[in-house]
Amino acid sequence: MMIDKIESHLNAKFPDALSNVAAGDRHVIFAVEQKESYPVLGELKSIGFDHLSDVTAVDYIDQQEFELIYHLRSHQQRIRALMKVRIPRQSPVASSVTALWGGAQMHEREIHELFGIDFLGNPDLSELFLEDWEEIPPFRKDFDTRKYVKEEYYGDEEQYPVVKG
């Protein structure tokens, strides 16, 4: 199946679900509504997108939304598909795709830790890289790394005096 065929195939299966479709020479990119996301991913898997390369989250704080980007590749057809889905920032919950791609479990666990997005159906969303983290998830836009480092490591000026050159 060629890149332009994927769009027409998905449009036939899920009328009016796809938006912002852009096809390049390497990949096709499109966005879907949250309620369509799991069925569309299932369909992509069944037409040969067997490699889940990555799951990315982007924090669009101005629009109060998170964007999840699923990076898929089909090894037989040698093409990529990027599917974007927006979820509300206030109640960030998405369905887990662990049942479709075994490798998804760790990607979702990482996003859960760094962005605080919940994945329903993921068997293990415990801490991955961080330890005893009590602040807001650190990759969100409202977490200021520089302020945190200053307060955490340089806060007590008597104990850690700032050396001025």
Partner 1 sequence: MSFLTIPFGPQHPAAGHFHALIKVDGETVLGLDPYPGYLHRGFEKLMEYRVHTQNCMLLDRICILDPLSNEAGYVNAVEEIGRLEVPVRAKYIRTIMLELGRILSHISWIGEMGMALGFDSACRIAWGDRERIIRLNEIISGGRIYPVLFCVGGVRRDISPEFVDKSYEALDYLERQLEFYDSFFFKNETFIMRTKGVGKLGASEAVDLGVTGPNLRACGVDYDIRQDEPYEAYPEVNFKVVTREEGDAYARCLCRRGEIAESISIVRQLLKDVPGGPHRVQLDPMYKTPEGESHFCVEAARGELCFHVVSDGSPIPYRVKVRGPSFSHSLVAFPYLAEGSTIADIPVIYWSLAPCPADMDR
Q: In the complex, which residues of this chain contact partner 1 (CB under 8 A)?
A: 26-27, 29, 50-54, 56, 58-59, 69, 71, 75, 78, 80, 82, 101-103, 105-107, 110, 128-131, 138-139, 145-146
CB of 103 to partner 1, least distance (A): 3
CB of 22 to partner 1, least distance (A): 10
Q: Angle at Cα 56 formed by Cα 141 and Cα 42, nearest 5°?
A: 140
Nearest residue (CB) to partner 1, 146 versus 164 = 146
CB of 158 to partner 1, least distance (A): 28
Both tokens assigned to 97? 């795709």
CB of 164 to partner 1, least distance (A): 23
8 Å CB contact between 71 and 123? no
Which SS3 state, helix, strand or coil, does residue 139 take?
A: coil
Task: Name the residue type at position 102.
Answer: G
Nearest residue (CB) to partner 1, 35 versus 76 = 76
Nearest residue (CB) to partner 1, 20 versus 159 = 20
8 Å CB contact between 49 and 97? no
Written as one string, the DSSP assignment of 52-81 is EEEEEEEEETTTTEEEEEEEEEETTTTEEE
Nearest residue (CB) to partner 1, 22 versus 93 = 22
Both tokens assigned to 137? 């998830």
CB of 7 to partner 1, least distance (A): 17
Give the Cα separation of 39 and 57 in Å (integer): 20
Nearest residue (CB) to partner 1, 18 versus 79 = 79
